[in-house]
């Protein structure tokens, strides 16, 4: 098939979940012999530098810059509009014009929309192409904003976030009805989608090639968190851990060291750096970073989709302590291949248990790797993806 993959940010560098997920699908399509064209939005936060030459060749990659920064006047005006400011920021006439040229010049069988923020181009694509249009839902975006609104104590901010969430939810529910097919990354998201639409929907999770993830010995008494720190949900989660959990740990085990890594680390986190807290910031190789340290924490309180960093850490045999929300969408068994904690006391107690029972903790990490091998193999997922797209294209 001839496929156009449209992305709301460039697929490189592969340092966040979105980029990893986009690359995963690109690789899967190419491996199955499909012809692929990738068109991406580059933004102030995500430029399109350092795209590997092989990827450029395999995907005929293009990008157009859109200034997606929040602007005060449009944000204020959106208060009096029914449309979603969250998605409107990703629309530009120049990007729409180039997309229209592409679909006129090529006979695409499938147009794959990578996430909700490129859905504003749906109408133009539908009017100018006979291709089937498939949404790949990386998460339920309105759920993320609902969680952010719930977490804030600022009444004015809460009201504003609730308004954004309501408009985004209305848009999300309306746009999924128009798709020819929907791909979800988690079964929880698939269940939500099936309540909105009777169209063909399938869960095709992120694939992990475990041959590239060997288990290695780690530094004792270490905890780590890695994730994009320009994402509000991660900032709030880490702040919660620092304020509510880490003091409990320091009271009993002063030798424990916490490492914090991720792109876009807010400046004020650097002020926290000290004997027990190491601010690693953006790391060149996330896998190498995770290999070095002992326990992974995922103190996430909002979001949907799937935490790809959890899957990668599982593949490395890491013992992971996560909130229920953080682990949502992942095939797991609590206390067998992951540890779930939803209060500060539970988080601290799980960490103490791991340090006091190293062999049992290690077994949970080993089971986590086995979970990836059994449920997230590249070969199976590539076959399922091609089968689903062939079904949509022929329907």
Instruction: Look at residue 306 in the predicted model and tell me its pLDDT.
Output: 72
Instruction: Look at residue 305 in the predicted model and tell me its pLDDT.
Output: 63
- pLDDT tens per residue across span 331-383: 999 999 999 999 999 999 999 999 999 999 999 999 999 999 988 888 888 89
Same fold, 2-207+377-394 and 210-375: yes
- Considering the segment(s) 2-207+377-394 as one domain, its CATH architecture is 3-Layer(aba) Sandwich (3.40)
Distant-in-sequence, close-in-space partners of 5: CB < 8 Å, separation ≥ 6: 22, 25, 26, 29, 36, 37, 38, 39, 59, 112, 114
- Please list the residues that pair with 226 across neighbouring strands: 261
Distant-in-sequence, close-in-space partners of 87: CB < 8 Å, separation ≥ 6: 116, 117, 119, 120, 168, 171
Give the DSSP letter string of 85-122: HHHHTT--HHHHHHHHHHHHHS--SEEEEESGGGGGGH
Phi, psi of 52 (to 5 degrees): -55, 140
Q: Are 59 and 44 in contact (CB under 8 A)?
A: no
Instruction: Look at residue 145 in the predicted model and tell me its pLDDT.
Output: 83
Q: Tell me yes or no: is domain 210-375 CATH 3.40.50.2000.
A: yes
Phi, psi of 331 (to 5 degrees): -75, 105
Terminal Cα-to-Cα distance of the chain (whole angstroms): 14
For the chain, residues with pLDDT lower than 70 are 304-305
Domain ranges of the chain: 2-207+377-394, 210-375
Instruction: Look at residue 198 in the predicted model and tell me its pLDDT.
Output: 75
Instruction: Look at residue 177 in the predicted model and tell me its pLDDT.
Output: 95
């Amino acid at each position: 098939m001839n496929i156009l993959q449209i992305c709301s940010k460039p697929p490189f560098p592969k340092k966040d979940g979105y980029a990893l997920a986009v690359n995963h699908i690109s690789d899967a399509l190419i491996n199955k012999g499909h012809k692929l064209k990738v068109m991406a939005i580059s933004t102030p936060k995500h430029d399109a530098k350092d795209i590997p030459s092989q990827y450029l060749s395999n995907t005929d990659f293009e990008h157009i810059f859109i200034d997606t920064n929040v602007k005060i006047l449009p944000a204020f005006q959106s208060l009096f509009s029914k449309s979603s400011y969250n998605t409107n920021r990703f629309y530009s006439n120049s990007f729409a014009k180039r997309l229209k040229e592409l679909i006129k010049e090529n006979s695409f069988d499938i147009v794959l929309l990578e996430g909700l923020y490129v859905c504003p181009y749906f109408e133009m694509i539908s009017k100018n192409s006979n291709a089937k249009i498939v949404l790949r839902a990386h998460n339920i975006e309105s759920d993320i904003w609902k969680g952010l609104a719930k977490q804030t104590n600022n009444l004015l901010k809460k009201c504003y976030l609730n308004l954004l969430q309501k408009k985004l939810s209305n848009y999300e529910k309306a746009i999924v009805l128009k798709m020819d097919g929907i791909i979800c990354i988690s079964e929880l998201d698939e269940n939500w989608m099936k309540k909105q639409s009777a169209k063909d929907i399938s869960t095709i999770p992120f694939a992990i090639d475990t041959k590239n993830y060997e288990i290695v010995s780690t530094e004792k008494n270490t905890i780590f968190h890695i994730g994009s720190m320009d994402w509000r949900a991660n900032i709030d989660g880490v702040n919660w851990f620092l304020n509510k959990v880490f003091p409990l740990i320091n009271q009993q085990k002063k030798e424990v060291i916490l490492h914090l890594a991720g792109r876009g680390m807010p400046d004020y986190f650097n002020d926290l750096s000290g004997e027990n807290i190491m601010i690693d910031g953006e790391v060149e190789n996330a896998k190498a970073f995770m290999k070095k340290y002992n326990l992974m924490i995922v103190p996430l309180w909002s979001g949907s989709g799937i935490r790809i960093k959890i899957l990668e850490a599982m593949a490395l045999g890491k013992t992971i302590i996560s909130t229920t929300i953080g682990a949502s969408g992942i095939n797991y068994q609590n206390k067998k291949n992951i540890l779930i904690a939803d209060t500060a006391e539970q988080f601290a107690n799980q960490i103490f248990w791991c340090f006091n029972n190293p062999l049992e903790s290690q077994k949970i990490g080993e089971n986590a790797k086995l979970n990836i091998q059994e449920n997230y193999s590249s070969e199976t997922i590539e076959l399922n993806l091609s089968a689903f797209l062939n079904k949509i294209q022929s329907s």
